[in-house]
Structure 1
Amino acid sequence: MQSSNDSRRNFLKKAGLAFSSSLISPVFPALAAEDTPRYLDDAVAEKGAVVKVINGYPELFIDGQKASRMWARLALPGDYGPEKLEMYAPAGIQVYFTSLDTAISLCWNGEEEFYFDKYEAHLRRLVEQKPDIRLILYVGAAGGAPYKWCKAHEEELTQFDTGQRLEAASIASKIWWEDSARAFAAFVKYFSNSRYAQNIIGFNPIYNANEWFSHHRKSGGKFGWADFSKPMQERLRDWLRARYAGDERALRESWNDPNVTFETASVPSKEQRLYAEDPSFFYTLTPLGNRIADYYLCYDETLAELGIHWCKTIKQSSDIPRLAGMMYGYSYCGRHDSNLYPHHHGHGTAMLAMQSEWVDFMHSPYHYYNRSINGTHYSQHAVDTVTLHGKLMVDQIDSKPHLRGGSNQNASTPWESEQLLKRDVSYSLTKNFHAYWLEGGPGNMFPIVRHSPEAWGPFWFDDPALLDTIGQLKKLVDQNQSENNASVTEMAIFTSNEGLYHRRMEKVFGNLYVEAFRQWFMPKVGIPFDDYILEALPMVEKSYKVYVFMDVHYVPPKMREAIKAKLEADGATAIWFYAPGYLDGKTGSLKHIEALTGMKMGKIDKQDFIQVEVTGNSHPFLKGVKQGESFGTDMDPGFFTKDIRWMPWPKNTGDYKFAPIFYVNDRSATSLGQLRGYGHTGFAVKDMGQYRSVYVSAPLLQPEIIRNIAESAGVHVYNRDHALIYANNRYVSVTAARDGQQEVFLPAPAKVADALTGEAVAAKAQRIAFKAKAYETRIFRLEEA
């Protein structure tokens, strides 16, 4: 092992990694054919870490042995890794993410010098404490590029419209792609030859955070708006040439600009991006055409390709198979800058990474909205899209139990904390994917939010009862993993990634039509569901009885046909919101909605609340719903903000008005509700022969109505009392919404036991009845009766 800077330089020269050599080409590999992966032979899996799909679910194998799905993360701060390890090791956890508390964790000065001993010291402390530990190393450029690199390449830095440059490379800089890849290769090769090589099973590139984010998140205030650098201008023009196949006339039609050329097309200004002269919700239908959509799509593709580039470098530089993956691909919860979402999130082209053979896993904190003890646990990912592509979906359980203290905790008592942890693991348990614990204590160690009311508070999980619960849950996850479990979901929800580029920057649409619906209303339906990105639908082979399309206002013709074919093949019920398929990339037309929903439509070119009033209760969909009850955008934002600790939520009710407003104008459809103030149908159902179509103008169908629609389609309902349900064919998790008697209905009679205690509940039952406190979580194991 090398022990000095000189020996490190010698190592790099021997490894062929001096900066005079070229390691990675072409610069934008995702735009060219992928190279052949190094490890195609399954026999190689006997050494190193690989992902294999077993019985439909991706699994991690280390040295030929299946690894546990239950991991942990030693971070926030990473310097306290050994102390955090003391909490998790007794539970038998082997796999850990870990990181340095430094912006440039590549240990690179931006030229030819490396200081790997900094990371080595961190690893030494962990390995000495647990010699058989398995580690995935966070590595990359969390806070920017190294000083010397920035100084030498000023023109390559991210530039804002104010002229200010960020101390970070533009993601379109070819020089940065080449130099950073060589630095990654040096890092991987060095540690693949270090004394800790057997402990390291993978690497996790980071960018602009300890996750993977766009520099656009910094837009506004003193910075201005990104990215106007020369590399980004050049990248956009090359991207446009490819997108429009060199057809300048097509570009001009798309941008509504008779004068633009591939040589003059430029990054849109702040004023163009915030265009407000036309009240239309859709950029495509304003004089700007697809100018804004194209820029952000280009930017996000480049950001995704950079991540793939680094993952490819990692895998090609390793001597044995090691993992490469990112905290990237989020389809939800990007509203750190609420009025700039979703364009500034950076995750809109997640499908590129999911489709890449160089990416093994994706992970994220679970959704920040409605995550406290009285809420739910769903991922920021459309998780079933990740597993559909054969990637490890790894759920970060970063709950804030009572030891965190203060107003930002998710539980306030030891008992609540135990229920929180059981609820959180139930999600990944029943979805058959991976998860890891992350606690963020102690003290004020994280810039987003103070992690404890006291400057030096306790570790969040450092309580005997909580640690015992973590141990029990680890055993449960391992037991579940050893069995051949099957999904029981009969409902799927879809959100469109491509559609986000075609809607204007505003504060409310995504919050209501996606986040609120999924985080506040779906958890109360009493039915588990699968979660997809719309653009993955053609890959979905599984049949569902109900398909929920939340924000699919952009649907190209081929996708429209794929959706209809899937609904017809499954004989399913589709639920559509607002403007399904209104845009096809060229025009906005009611005919597009009609072709997708099967209903004739009308449009009101006025900006107003979209509030639907139920017009009757005799229809099965309205069972238990009072006549005259209403739902929609004319609401008190306090409903959402009362349980949000630090994530923003739009509070100005004037922002809850939309234009245009759509309605059903079809006598052959059954009207179930009318738009308040207009008299037009805003909620309707129509039998299409081979499938059933339900249209809703407003974003927020009540849980009771969703449940009724699903039940009418033959979906099994587990609970009717707003309990949170997670389930597969072996386990059912129930989190009570209130004190008192609870009921869970099973799809078939089963032998039932408490999954954690082993206590028998019933020898043969299709209904489980038990008393529980509000927010208590019970996990039941099911066996054939």
Structure 2
Amino acid sequence: MKPKFLFVTLLLCLLGGCSGYPAEKGLTKARLEHKQGRALYNINGKLFVPILYSPPFSISRSPYGEDGRINYSNFRDAGIDLVEMHMELRNAWNRDGTLNIPMVRHELISVLEGILEINPDAYFQVRVDFHAPRWWLDRYPAEMVHYARGPIDFGTTNDIGRAPNASLASERWQQEADVIVKQFLDYLQTTRVGKRVFSFLIGGACGSEWTYFGYKQEPDTGDAMTRRFRQWLADKYVTDVALQQAWNDPRVTIATAVVPDMEERRYNLGVFRDPQKERRILDYYHCHQETIESVIDHFTQFFKENWPSDVLVGLFNGYLFSDNDFNSTGYLYFGRLLDSPYIDFFAGPYNYNYDARDAGGTSQPRSLVGSVNLHGKLFMTEQDRITHLIAQSRNNETTFTTDEQSVAMLRTNFAQLVSLASGYWFEEFSGFPGYAPYVAHEPLQEYAGNFNSPALMSEIGRQKRYYDQAVHHDYEREADVAFFYDFDTFYYLAEVDNRQTREIEYASNNWLTADAYRSGVSFDTYLYSDLRNVDLSRYKAVVFGTTYCISDEDMVFINDQVKKDGRLVIVNYAPAYTDGTKLDVRRIGKITEMEVRPIKITTPPVMTILGNHYGLEADGSPGRVPVSPLFEIDDAGVEVLGRYQGSDAVAVARKKQPDYTVVYAALPLRGPGMMRKLFREAGAHIYNDADDVVIAGGGIVCVATREDAGGPRTIHLRNGKQVELDMKPGTTVILDEHTGEILFD
């Protein structure tokens, strides 16, 4: 055994397993239980729907002040007994490697004790983060993350900036974090409230969401990552000769290879990286992503194995919608984590696109929930859309002003939960830094919390009671359309300081599905790597979103197994443009079955569909940069559906075959009207012909109108019934999927 590992093992024994904190009997036992198609919590033999209250970062987290008592009492009275609380272990990480027990009691144990006094039936999810403390970073500077954009900024604690942090590639940090986590778990077991812990949310890196520290600053060029990169290259290439051939560089060796700098990260000729010329940076980003995956794999297993009772373990992960900088942030390894035996649930907030968060918005989860469910996991949404009780907006979302607007928003959120068989926690923002009333806080009831009004808490209570009953019925996901997105594609997109790539990503990842929500159809979202695992016979249409890297083998599968049974297949922008080894426009033609050729447009591209004009609109405005490569359809055998504005060049076309139909959009497809037309002709059920948000499944149909839209609506249920509604602008109606009865009216 190597000396450093022997030292860590002995320290774990002295400070952890032999710490003098014997585990108290009677710990809670918790696991996921799948009942009639839904994932529920089994806590000590009793089933709970996955709905929690979470005030971990707000002033209202304290149960000893008026605000905290109000909020915890409100949610107790609404029937929600599951509460999340946060522990930042760096605050209790002593310089000698021991756990600061008084600090743990102050930050966590006493808070949970106070909550338990208010609600004796409470069970706890503990969100644990183990950033390295500042003294540790000062002691081990060689273990820190470094940034390609510039030196570490020791004057900031903003993890999106160039803040001092331990590199996720640091073996020393991981080993010493094991020691402090082990002590924490051992101590927590001995407490009365520790016996009520049913779940751990493991937080790490930027925002505790496992996005790499300083991702916009292009990490990680530090010593720890350089060591890991060289080991990664040795594992992949074995010899210097193989590495030199792959990188087209006769001077490089495994022992001297370094992480790419900013000049190389910026190098590109357009939206794509060329695998034949930029293998070095592709290799680095694969190493970067796998580093995050390995840390997650380690700590999820560590928590499972060091808590002596059945416990749930989950983390934030799998963000796609409204994300960017995919190569440097993380999540491209998500497909591997879906199969982890140590992970029970994944979590994420709502899409930050304004079409998701404005009044009448979609409340779209940020992850591919279809794949989470397919792999037997649970998806938990951080319900962080802000109500009218918090005066400020965040991330440009609408500031609501009335109970009615906030109730409408909560209903759309709830419709996503029910239809996707998922869960969520109510995130508290009262007193959150930057949100009223953080600066001038008064412990008055009207300022007590994000949900503290009779109307909101009444709505939350009704929703909880409804879902408690709904889970006794079979879950049916009434979706006719499946969307597939490929995380591996992002390796081949030149993201760094590249506006055109950002435009394409945003249109494909956000506007494509945003318009689908308003097409009147119900749809599922999956990871492309699950294509062979999904029962495609359920779907009338399959849409390939950001799927620009497709292997020859997958091409055969799509052509043989997806294109059949009368199915509509929609492909977007540059499907199959690369197989991971080269860029080749001819491969686009093979999957679209159309003659496709490059086209040069020197202005920001806009396409015209059904008389409407659609740019790429990365930030809510028309596309503002030219894009390369662009493609046009030059095929006399297609039906033209859209053209590039200002020219006769075909941007969207359809080709019908005897047993299937292919639609190719050379920019990501836009327009609820066009989607509605295509989906209806493919045989998909259309619930609503207006451009309202539709969410259906799990026994409900939800319709949400924008603030500038309202009036008569005819909702078509699958059983043939029609429901006539007169909807006000900015409202949400939830119907029973079978009877058409209005719920929560």
TM-score, normalising length: structure 1? 0.82
Mapping 1:566-605, distance limit 5 Å: 566-568=561-563, 570-604=565-599
**Are the structure 2 counterparts of residues 326 and 433 from structure 1 closer, same or farther at C-alpha, using a change threshold of 3 Å?**
same
Structure 1 distance, partners of 2:603, 2:529, is 30
| Identical counterparts, % of pairs | 23
| Contact map agreement 1:612 1:675 (CA 8 A) in 2 | yes
Residue 539 in structure 1 maps to residue 540 in structure 2? no
Q: State the Cα distance separating 1:702 from its structure 2 match.
A: 0.9
Structure 1 distance, partners of 2:416, 2:646, is 41
**Are the structure 2 counterparts of residues 213 and 396 from structure 1 closer, same or farther at C-alpha, using a change threshold of 3 Å?**
same
**Are the structure 2 counterparts of residues 109 and 421 from structure 1 closer, same or farther at C-alpha, using a change threshold of 3 Å?**
farther
The alignment partner of 1:66 has SS state of: strand
Q: State the Cα distance separating 1:429 from its structure 2 match.
A: 1.1
Residue 284 in structure 1 maps to residue 274 in structure 2? yes
AA aligned to 2:413 is D
Q: Which of 523, 528, 531 is matched with 2:522 structurally?
A: 528
Q: Equivalent residue for 1:16?
A: 17
| Contact map agreement 1:73 1:97 (CA 8 A) in 2 | yes
Structure 2 distance, partners of 1:78, 1:17, is 36
Q: Which of 74, 78, 82 is matched with 1:95 structurally?
A: 82
**Are the structure 2 counterparts of residues 454 and 516 from structure 1 closer, same or farther at C-alpha, using a change threshold of 3 Å?**
farther
**Are the structure 2 counterparts of residues 406 and 174 from structure 1 closer, same or farther at C-alpha, using a change threshold of 3 Å?**
closer
**Are the structure 2 counterparts of residues 160 and 739 from structure 1 closer, same or farther at C-alpha, using a change threshold of 3 Å?**
closer
The alignment partner of 2:597 has SS state of: strand
Q: Which of 662, 670, 676 is matched with 2:631 structurally?
A: 662
| Contact map agreement 1:109 1:146 (CA 8 A) in 2 | no
Q: State the Cα distance separating 1:423 from its structure 2 match.
A: 1.3
Q: Equivalent residue for 1:632?
A: 615
AA aligned to 2:55 is L
Q: Equivalent residue for 1:179?
A: 176
Residue 295 in structure 1 maps to residue 284 in structure 2? yes
Q: Equivalent residue for 2:160?
A: none
Structure 2 distance, partners of 1:581, 1:570, is 23
Q: Which of 463, 466, 472 is matched with 1:473 structurally?
A: 463
| Contact map agreement 1:599 1:664 (CA 8 A) in 2 | yes
| Contact map agreement 1:498 1:554 (CA 8 A) in 2 | yes
Q: Which has the higher contact order (CA 8 A, sep 6+)?
A: 2
Structure 1 distance, partners of 2:737, 2:715, is 12
Q: State the Cα distance separating 1:15 from its structure 2 match.
A: 4.8
**Are the structure 2 counterparts of residues 729 and 329 from structure 1 closer, same or farther at C-alpha, using a change threshold of 3 Å?**
closer
Q: Which of 388, 397, 401 is matched with 2:383 structurally?
A: 397
AA aligned to 1:391 is K
| Deviations 1:571-593, CA, capped at 9 Å, x for gaps | 42111111001011111112221
Structure 2 distance, partners of 1:178, 1:471, is 44
| Deviations 1:418-474, CA, capped at 9 Å, x for gaps | 1111111111111111122112113xx33xx43459733542211111111110111
AA aligned to 2:682 is A
AA aligned to 2:511 is A
The alignment partner of 1:159 has SS state of: coil
The alignment partner of 1:265 has SS state of: coil
Residue 741 in structure 1 maps to residue 742 in structure 2? no
Residue 70 in structure 1 maps to residue 51 in structure 2? yes
TM-score, normalising length: structure 2? 0.86
Q: Equivalent residue for 1:455?
A: 440
Q: Which of 333, 337, 352 is matched with 1:349 structurally?
A: 333
AA aligned to 1:164 is I
**Are the structure 2 counterparts of residues 679 and 14 from structure 1 closer, same or farther at C-alpha, using a change threshold of 3 Å?**
closer
Mapping 1:54-65, distance limit 5 Å: 54-65=35-46
Q: State the Cα distance separating 1:97 from its structure 2 match.
A: 1.5
| Contact map agreement 1:51 1:360 (CA 8 A) in 2 | yes
Residue 499 in structure 1 maps to residue 489 in structure 2? yes
Structure 1 distance, partners of 2:192, 2:438, is 40
Q: Equivalent residue for 1:435?
A: 424
**Are the structure 2 counterparts of residues 333 and 109 from structure 1 closer, same or farther at C-alpha, using a change threshold of 3 Å?**
farther
| Contact map agreement 2:517 2:695 (CA 8 A) in 1 | no
Q: State the Cα distance separating 1:564 from its structure 2 match.
A: 3.1
Residue 511 in structure 1 maps to residue 511 in structure 2? no
| Deviations 1:193-236, CA, capped at 9 Å, x for gaps | 3222321012111123443233453544xxxx421122211211
AA aligned to 1:121 is S
**Are the structure 2 counterparts of residues 357 and 453 from structure 1 closer, same or farther at C-alpha, using a change threshold of 3 Å?**
closer
Residue 327 in structure 1 maps to residue 316 in structure 2? yes
Q: Equivalent residue for 2:209?
A: 212
Structure 2 distance, partners of 1:98, 1:728, is 31
Q: State the Cα distance separating 1:64 from its structure 2 match.
A: 2.1
Mapping 1:677-756, distance limit 5 Å: 677=646, 679-728=648-697, 730-737=699-706, 738-749=709-720
Q: Equivalent residue for 2:345?
A: 361
Structure 1 distance, partners of 2:642, 2:319, is 34
Unaligned stretches of 5+ residues in structure 2: 1-9, 21-25, 154-162, 442-446, 741-745
The alignment partner of 2:580 has SS state of: coil
Q: Which of 359, 368, 381 is matched with 1:382 structurally?
A: 368
AA aligned to 1:122 is V
The alignment partner of 1:187 has SS state of: helix
Q: Equivalent residue for 1:164?
A: 152
| Contact map agreement 2:359 2:409 (CA 8 A) in 1 | yes
Structure 2 distance, partners of 1:364, 1:582, is 30
Residue 773 in structure 1 maps to residue 719 in structure 2? no
Q: Equivalent residue for 1:564?
A: 559
Q: State the Cα distance separating 1:509 from its structure 2 match.
A: 1.9
| Contact map agreement 1:136 1:201 (CA 8 A) in 2 | yes
Structure 2 distance, partners of 1:106, 1:539, is 45
Unaligned stretches of 5+ residues in structure 1: 1-8, 20-44, 336-340, 615-624, 642-650, 750-765
**Are the structure 2 counterparts of residues 720 and 148 from structure 1 closer, same or farther at C-alpha, using a change threshold of 3 Å?**
same
Q: State the Cα distance separating 1:363 from its structure 2 match.
A: 0.8
Structure 2 distance, partners of 1:99, 1:266, is 37
**Are the structure 2 counterparts of residues 407 and 95 from structure 1 closer, same or farther at C-alpha, using a change threshold of 3 Å?**
closer
**Are the structure 2 counterparts of residues 305 and 10 from structure 1 closer, same or farther at C-alpha, using a change threshold of 3 Å?**
closer
**Are the structure 2 counterparts of residues 613 and 419 from structure 1 closer, same or farther at C-alpha, using a change threshold of 3 Å?**
closer
**Are the structure 2 counterparts of residues 251 and 281 from structure 1 closer, same or farther at C-alpha, using a change threshold of 3 Å?**
farther
Structure 2 distance, partners of 1:321, 1:134, is 14
The alignment partner of 1:226 has SS state of: coil
Residue 145 in structure 1 maps to residue 132 in structure 2? yes
**Are the structure 2 counterparts of residues 108 and 64 from structure 1 closer, same or farther at C-alpha, using a change threshold of 3 Å?**
farther
Structure 1 distance, partners of 2:549, 2:646, is 28
| Contact map agreement 1:673 1:681 (CA 8 A) in 2 | yes
| Contact map agreement 1:75 1:81 (CA 8 A) in 2 | no
| Deviations 1:257-299, CA, capped at 9 Å, x for gaps | 34433223321101111125x3x22112684x23222222211
The alignment partner of 1:283 has SS state of: coil
Q: State the Cα distance separating 1:81 from its structure 2 match.
A: 4.3
Segments of 4+ in structure 1 off by > 6 A?
9-12
Q: State the Cα distance separating 1:172 from its structure 2 match.
A: 0.7
